[in-house]
Amino acid sequence: MGKVKTKTGPLARRPDNSAFKQQRLPAWSPMLTANTVLPFFYFMALICMFLGVWLLLTVQSTKEMKLDYTEAGTCDRCFEKRKNVSNAAQPCSCTVVFSIGKKFKGDVFFYYGLRNFHQNLRRYMDSRDDAQMVGRKKNLQTPSTYCFPFTTDQNGQPIAPCGAVANSMFNDSFVLTYHMPGGRPEKVPLLRQGITWYTDKNIKFRNPKTENLTLPEVFKGTAKPLYWQKPVYELDPLDPTNNGFINDDLIIWMREAAFPNFKKLYGVLNRAKEPFTTGLPAGNYSIEISYNFPVQYFRGRKEVVLTTLTWFGGQNHFLPIAYLVTSSLILLVAIVLTVVWWKFGKNGKNMEE
């Protein structure tokens, strides 16, 4: 009877015998044995060492020159002048001189830098209208409320570009001059265009459709930001195509920095002419600064930076050193582990205790 039951009794409710349901799926579950861990550590140490040395050598070949011009040279006069708000409209220019000991070979990048300027405050970063920046007419006339209180001017005209970010745009300008030994001063040519990313220049920032109108006509009915001296369509007097929202300086400024001390690209050395075809020659230089941007309110500093670049960026000593330190630490750990393993746990000694 029992037999009959097992035979005829259907195993209908018997669960499937699949690897998934029976939890027999194949798996890779490595063990942290000495055979795997120790070689891995040595390997990592080697890789890091290699990278560190390589990076260090690369970094050695870069040149960098930093110059804080807040009160340097003749700029102390302008610094004092800008302390008083009522003088804001008055132009002020000053000159700072410096020299470079060794030639800057290759492409040289010209940055301006600000210290203690918080572009990363939440409300500051929010205070912009990206829809306006891509050229939507509607937002040109009625900017987003995020721009408040830089939405409209006293007359109720909408501001273009609106918001705190655009309003506080850096507006010093620089002229770099090379004083050849025994020669006459030579202006260093800088490429002031083509320094933005493609995606910024062509997608995120666009002028409103002109439709046979000139740029000033398009922006008619809008006001310039409060702190600006020129309207947005006259930012670059030299190149009319570099005006409006697609102005390179504006775009670069609008990409907010993550930390209060930051540098932004101002221009790249134009190597078309002698003596700059191979880079920036050693010698004396002067920078003539049109000193407009006040920093004393927020105890900030201004600086210019000249630097050459390598494949992984500018003169960055941290990365190679970090790699070297990490590598030596890993090596140390690996050696300690090896010793410990050799003495105490070789061949899984503890496992078979």
Partner 1 sequence: VGCFCEEERRVRANDREYNEKFQYASNCIMTSKYNIITFLPVNLFEQFQEVANTYFLFLLILQLIPQISSLSWFTTIVPLALVLSITAVKDATDDYFRHKSDNQVNNRQSQVLIRGSLQNEKWMNVRVGDIIKLENNQFVAADLLLLSSSEPHGLCYIETAELDGETNMKVRQSVSVTSELGDPNNLASFDGEVVCEPPNNKLDRFCGTLYWREKKYTLTNQNMLLRGCVLRNTEACYGLVIFAGPDTKLMQNSGRTKFKRTSIDRLMNTLVLWIFGFLVCMGVILAVGNAVWEREVGSLFQSYLPWDPPVDNFLFSAFLSFWSYVIILNTVVPISLYVSVEVIRLGHSYFINWDQQMFCSQCNTAAEARTTTLNEELGQVEYIFSDKTGTLTQNIMSFNKCSINGQTYGNRPTGTSAEGENPFYKLDFTPFNPLADPDFCFYDDTLLESVKVGDLHTHEFFRVLSLCHTVMSEEKSEGELVYKAQSPDEGALVTAARNFGFVFRSRTPGTITTTEMGQTVTYSLLAILDFNNIRKRMSVIVRSPEGRIRLYCKGADTVLLERLHPCNQELMNITSDHLNEYAADGLRTLALAYRDLSEDEWEAWSESHRCADKATDCREDRLAAAYEEIEQDMMLLGATAIEDKLQEGVPETIAILSLANIKIWVLTGDKQETAVNIGYSCKMLTDDMTEVFIISGHTVQSVRQELRSLRCPPPPPHPPPPPPPASPPPASPSPPSNLMDNISGEFALVINGHSLAHALEADMEGEFVSTACACKAVICCRVTPLQKAQVVELIKKHKKAVTLAVGDGANDVSMIKSAHIGVGISGQEGIQAVLASDYSFSQFRFLQRLLLVHGRWSYLRMCRFLCYFFYKNFAFTMVHFWFGFFCGFSAQTVYDQYFITLYNIVYTSLPVLAMGIFDQDVPDQRSLEYPKLYEPGQLNLLFNKREFFICITQGIYTSVVLFFVPYAVLSNATQSTGDFYFYLTVLLPCTKRTPLFSLPVQTLFRIFPNQFHFVGSAQSTLLQPVVWLTIALATAICIVPVLAFRFLKLDLKPQLSDTVRYTQLVRQKKRKMGRLGARSGSRRSGYAFAHQEGFGELITSGKNMRLSSLALATFASKHSSSWIDTLRRKKHTHTHTPPSASGEGQMQPAKGSNLACGMNL
Q: Which residues inside 65-104 make contact with partner 1, applying CB under 8 A?
A: none
Q: Looking at 91, 149, 183, 221, which residue binds partner 1 (CB under 8 A)?
A: 149
Minimum gap (Å) between residue 305 Cβ and partner 1: 6
Q: How many CA atoms lie within 13 A of 90 on its CB side?
A: 12
- DSSP letter, residue 313: B
Q: Looking at 68, 71, 172, 200, which residue binds partner 1 (CB under 8 A)?
A: 200
Round to whole Å and give the CA distance between 329 and 332.
5
Judged by DSSP in three states, 348 sits in: helix
Considering the rule CB under 8 A, would residue 314 count as an interface residue with partner 1?
yes
Considering the rule CB under 8 A, would residue 331 count as an interface residue with partner 1?
no
Contact residues for 258 (Cβ-Cβ < 8 A; gap 6+):
120
Considering the rule CB under 8 A, would residue 301 count as an interface residue with partner 1?
no
Round to whole Å and give the CA distance between 102 and 270.
19
Residue 321, both tokens: 């050193």
Considering the rule CB under 8 A, would residue 255 count as an interface residue with partner 1?
yes
Q: Looking at 69, 104, 109, 233, which residue binds partner 1 (CB under 8 A)?
A: 109
Q: Looking at 89, 181, 237, 318, which residue binds partner 1 (CB under 8 A)?
A: 318
Considering the rule CB under 8 A, would residue 260 count as an interface residue with partner 1?
yes
Stretch binding partner 1 (CB under 8 A), from 25-33, 152-160, 273-281, 284-292: 25-33
Residue with smaller CB distance to partner 1, 175 or 335:
335
Phi then psi for 12, rounded to 5 degrees? -60, -40
Find out whether the peptide bond into 225 is cis, omega within 30 degrees of 0.
Answer: no
Minimum gap (Å) between residue 34 Cβ and partner 1: 7
Round to whole Å and give the CA distance between 204 and 257.
17
Considering the rule CB under 8 A, would residue 184 count as an interface residue with partner 1?
no
Minimum gap (Å) between residue 102 Cβ and partner 1: 17
Torsion sign over Cα 87, 303, 110, 243? negative
Query: Helix crossing, 318-344 with 34-60: angle to 10°?
Result: 160
Count of residues near partner 1 by CB under 8 A? 101
Check if the beta carbon of residue 166 is closer than 8 Å to that of residue 128: yes
Contact residues for 118 (Cβ-Cβ < 8 A; gap 6+):
124, 260
Minimum gap (Å) between residue 214 Cβ and partner 1: 28
Residue 2, both tokens: 């029992």
Residue with smaller CB distance to partner 1, 275 or 324:
324
Stretch binding partner 1 (CB under 8 A), from 170-178, 213-221, 241-249, 343-351: 343-351
Find out whether the peptide bond into 161 is cis, omega within 30 degrees of 0.
Answer: yes
Stretch binding partner 1 (CB under 8 A), from 76-84, 231-239, 273-281, 301-309: 301-309
Minimum gap (Å) between residue 347 Cβ and partner 1: 10
Considering the rule CB under 8 A, would residue 284 count as an interface residue with partner 1?
no
Residue with smaller CB distance to partner 1, 209 or 312:
312
